[in-house]
Structures are given as structure tokens and as C-alpha cells.
Amino acid sequence: MTAVGEARPSSGERLRKRLIGQPGSLNTGLRARRMRMLLERFPDLERMEVIDLGGTVRTWTRSPVRPAHVHLINPVPPVRGVADDELPDWVTMELGDACDLPRHLAERRFDLVFSNSVMEHVGGHEMRGRFADSVHRLSDRHWVQVPYLYFPIEPHWVFPLFQFLPLPLQTAFAARWPLSAWAKRPRTRAEALPLVLEVELLSRTQMRHYFPDSTLIAERFAGLTKSLIACRNG
């Protein structure tokens, strides 16, 4: 029920909540299914020390299995989330760039490197190569997921074939489209442009290049490949 004087959510906002991020949303259900796929490949997860490149505490507090320890590394503090003093004692969070690891991490080894929908944001081929090098340096085992370039719905904007539109059209639609996955939806083309430029979806050929010794798993939705997962289990 909407409180007196409170604006009623638009139909676009209501649809967005059904699709993205909220408990019970389509996106949350798909991530839960992906976590089950992870557990099938790594049934000993509860005994592992995991480093999550670019992830969130929520991924692991919602997981049906808790690793022995999770080390989260992100280049900027989370906009929303659990404060450091509220972290579970089995989670460590620190600021750092997965494409340029701090020395104390670059010299460490973990049981598993995990990354979920991050590599498409790091900024071009050179940075993706550095990201992949970090994955290989940190562990012999990894699980790196990225949205698939050729899935017909672009996942960040939830817009059909958005990734193939010319940049001016992308920014024009992004400034008006109510279903984007960004916490703060852009309202102008100037606000939309850096968000559009930030995302570069990946193909099978690219993922095979960055992870040549990994199994490439196709995560499907409605019979189509929705995302790609580079998986190596030892």
C-alpha cells in the first residue's frame, strides 16, 4: 500500500523490481541457480578460502553453503551494503583493483577465485587481460561469469539488442528507459554516457582467449545462452 502523499510507483518501476535485484525477482532467482551450478562443480566449497573479485557480501550471505572464508576486493567502497564492523567474521573486505593486485594479495594463493558479472566492467582488452592474469595468479581453480554478448536482452539495461545499437541511440534510450539495473538510474544523456561506455559484453572467442585452459560453461535462459562461465577445478 502507498502511504498518503507518497508517489505511486510507475509500471516501469514495478516491472523493474520484479526483474532485478529484489528478493523473488527473476535476476535473484537466476543468481541462485548459478550458485547451485557452482556447488555442483565445487562441492567442497564450505572448506575453501575464496577470493571474490568485485563481489558483494550479499552473494555469500544468501548462498546455501558458506565458504570457510571469503575475501572481497573492490576498487571503490560499496554504495550500499554491510559496513566493515558488521561483516560476518568469515568475510574480509578491502579496497583494491583486481587488475592491479595489491602486493600482499598478489603473493597469496586461495582455494578458489570467484567473479560474478565484473569482467565486462573493467575497461577494454588490456584491463581484461590483467584481470584474467590476476585470476590465474591467485589460484588454480576459478569460476568467472560474464553476461554473453549475443544474448538478445542486454542485462544491465534490460533492453532488446541494446549492445548492438549506435552509441547515440544507446545514450538516448538509457536516459529514458526505466528498467536499467543501475542503483541510480540516469536521467540525461550526459549521465547515461559513462554508464553505457563502462559495459563491454564478452563473446565465447574472447573468454577462450582469456581462459584457454578452462571449461567454458553456457548458462542458459529460455534455451539461449545468457552468460558464460570460465571454470577450472584444479
For residues 129-153, give the mean pLDDT.
98
- pLDDT value, residue 25: 59
- pLDDT value, residue 77: 78
For residues 122-129, give the mean pLDDT.
97
**Sheet of strand 112-116, all strands in order from the earlier edge strand to the far edge:** 91-95, 69-74, 49-53, 112-116, 141-147, 224-233, 215-221
> How far apart, in Å, are the Cα atoms of 69 and each of 52, 100, 183, 191, 206?
10, 22, 28, 38, 31
The mean pLDDT of the chain is: 88
d(CA 118, CA 146): 7
- pLDDT value, residue 115: 97
pTM of the model: 0.86
pLDDT at 148 over 80: yes
For residues 10-16, give the mean pLDDT.
54
More confident residue, 146 or 19: 146
pLDDT at 154 over 60: yes
- pLDDT value, residue 184: 79
For residues 141-149, give the mean pLDDT.
98
Q: What is the 3-state secondary structure (H, E, C) of the chain?
A: CCCCCCCCCCHHHHHHHHHCCCCCCHHHHHHHHHHHHHHHHCCCHHHCEEEEECCCHHHHHCCCCCCCEEEEEECCCCCCCCCHHHCCCCEEEEECECCECCHHHHCCCCCEEEEECCHHHCCHHHHHHHHHHHHHHHCCEEEEEEEECCCCEECCCCEECHHHCCHHHHHHHHCCCCCCCCCCCCCCHHHHHHHHHHCCCECHHHHHHHCCCCEEEEEEECCEEEEEEEEEEC
For residues 132-145, give the mean pLDDT.
98
More confident residue, 63 or 81: 63
Q: What domains can you pick out in the chain, each with its CATH number?
A: 11-153+200-233 (3.40.50.150), 157-198 (no CATH)
pLDDT at 2 over 50: no
Confidence of residue 27 (pLDDT cuts 50, 70, 90): low
- Of 18-32, 41-55, 60-74, 167-181, the poorest mean pLDDT is in 18-32
Highest mean pLDDT pick, 10-14, 87-91, 130-134:
130-134
| Packed helices 189-198 and 167-174: angle between N→C axes, nearest 10 degrees | 120
Confidence of residue 223 (pLDDT cuts 50, 70, 90): very high
How many percent of the chain have pLDDT more than 70? 84
For residues 29-33, give the mean pLDDT.
78
